[in-house]
Amino acid sequence: MKKIVFLLLVNSTLMLSQTNDEAMLKQIYKVALTESKAYPWLDDLSNKIGHRLSGSSGAAKAVTYTKEQMELLGLDKVYLQEVMVPQWVRGEKEVAYLQVEKQKKSFPICALGMSVATPKNGLLANVIEVKSLEELKALGTDKVKGKIIFFNRPMNPEFIETFHAYGSCVDQRSSGAREAGELGAVGVIVRSMNLRLDDFPHTGSTNYKDIAMDKRIPAAAISTNGAEELSKLLTENPNAKLYFKQSCQTLEDVLSYNVVGEITGSEHPNKIMVVGGHLDSWDLGDGSHDDGAGCVQSMAVLEIFRKLNYKPKNTIRVVLFMNEENGVKGGLKYEELSSKNKENHIFALESDSGGFTPRGFSIEADDSNFDKITTWKNLFEPYLIHIFRKGHTGVDIGPLKSEKIVKVALQPDSQRYFDYHHAANDTFDAVNKRELELGAASMASLMYLFDQYGLQ
């Protein structure tokens, strides 16, 4: 009889807890969809400040703005973390054309981030088209020396998850210039990481690693339409020469900041839960999806808790990381300071996949904690959140090391993300207000549940 009573009490407690959680999530979504400042914040970041490339005046203005907005939320602490960041400057608008006999066909290009410039008067050379780094290496120095290498491997449309398509071909952007330069090429043109055909070149970092400055060759991205046409023209005119000119340069590192705000935990102030995105962006658009959306969603998590007068058990900290795009200096500095201060992080959530409709979460956790999180799936079903899977979480929370920590990434619908990623059309008008707010609500809901039930 005692066993039956005990089981009834346990089941009753679980049902009550479930009911309370359902009510709390309903309130979180209500506040996010009717009261949140996430969309106005993004409007200011995008349209009043603009791009926020590390070391730029826009990045500095964004630091000041987001710190002020978090102070207005009445958080327990708001502060800045100093971090030295690269200062790469694009310079004049890039130019490219293919010289076929007496005619010149122009193409839309943009310098890849951290690339060196071409000679002052530009660069003119024959072109070799390749589909992979392996194909490049197979050519050898004799065929590559003195040429411009055109990497033209498209994102694979067969992948339903577009980040898999991105991962399958981004090595030509990140490593193409280094590999081609070592074989004696004089320049690199890379097909943009974009599934659709359009005229927007998409930038992104190229990595020379430890190659001497005088051995580095210029690298640029070409739009997908441009890549298709260039490939066709080269097939018809294999001896045609390509000209391109860019004037980018890397200046001395400059001082910047991570922006941090927190609500101190009522029961476990030394246990820290982080939510964040990266405040910097590339310079072609205004970085609304990448990653203004993630920043304002992270700020909105604390805004929602404040509006609901929710007092978390653990310390909940929002971090807007600086320099994710071309160095990850903000994420590395955050971990350095965390280790120095012997902080205990139990949870980290990052939003850096655009402000599209949320679909679920990608999770890095041991089996017991992963299983625990998946028991909350039914609470998210009314909000059409269904993905709970193990996988990559985030670049900025990646360096975080604690004795035991769960890391999570918000997973929005990815089908449109690479239409805008690192391109001039990544602007405020591309972000839907309701989708942005749903993402913030999903993040706040997961933060609430983890705060309530903690690590296994």
pLDDT recorded at residue 10:
46
Q: Looking at residue 13, what is its pLDDT? A: 52
pLDDT tens per residue across all 456 residues of the chain? 655 544 444 454 555 577 899 999 999 999 999 999 999 999 999 999 999 999 999 999 999 999 999 999 999 999 999 999 999 999 999 999 999 888 899 999 999 999 999 999 999 999 999 999 999 999 999 999 999 999 999 999 999 999 999 999 999 999 999 999 999 999 999 999 999 999 999 999 999 998 988 889 999 999 999 999 999 999 999 999 999 999 999 999 999 999 999 999 999 999 999 999 999 999 999 999 999 999 999 999 999 999 999 999 999 999 999 999 999 999 999 999 999 999 999 999 999 999 999 999 999 999 999 999 999 999 999 999 999 999 999 999 999 999 899 999 999 999 999 999 999 999 999 999 999 999 999 999 999 999 999 988
- How are the residues of the chain apportioned to helix, strand and coil, as percentages rounded to the nearest 5? 40, 25, 35
pLDDT of residue 199: 98
Give pLDDT, residue 275. Answer: 98
pLDDT for position 101? 83
Q: Are 28 and 448 in contact (CB under 8 A)?
A: yes
| Residue ranges with strand state E in 279-385 | 314-321, 344-350, 358-364
What integer pLDDT is reported at residue 11 of this predicted model?
Answer: 54
Burial of 72 (0-12, 13-18, 19+ CB in 10 A): exposed
Degrees to nearest 5, angle at CA 295 with 175 and 282: 35
Q: Which residues are within 8 A (CB) of 356 and not within 5 positions of it... i.e. 6 or more apart? A: 289, 412, 413, 414, 416, 417, 432, 435, 439
CB 15 within 8 A of CB 256: no
As a whole number of angstroms, the distance between CA 144 and CA 72 comes to 58
Give residue 210's pLDDT. Answer: 87
Q: How many whole angstroms separate alpha carbon 452 and alpha carbon 199?
A: 48
Distance of alpha carbon 405 from alpha carbon 445, whole angstroms: 18
- Report d(CA 174, CA 63) in Å as an integer: 28
Which uninterrupted H or E stretch holds 425? none
Say if residues 51 and 287 touch (Cβ distance below 8 Å). Answer: yes
Nearest to 404 by CA among 314, 302, 272, 275: 272
Has this prediction a pTM greater than 0.85? yes
pLDDT of residue 189: 98
Q: What is the DSSP letter of 267?
A: S
Place of tokens 């999806």: 289
What pLDDT is attached to residue 79?
98
Rounded distance between C-alpha atoms, residue 340 and residue 215, angstroms: 38
pLDDT at 455: 85
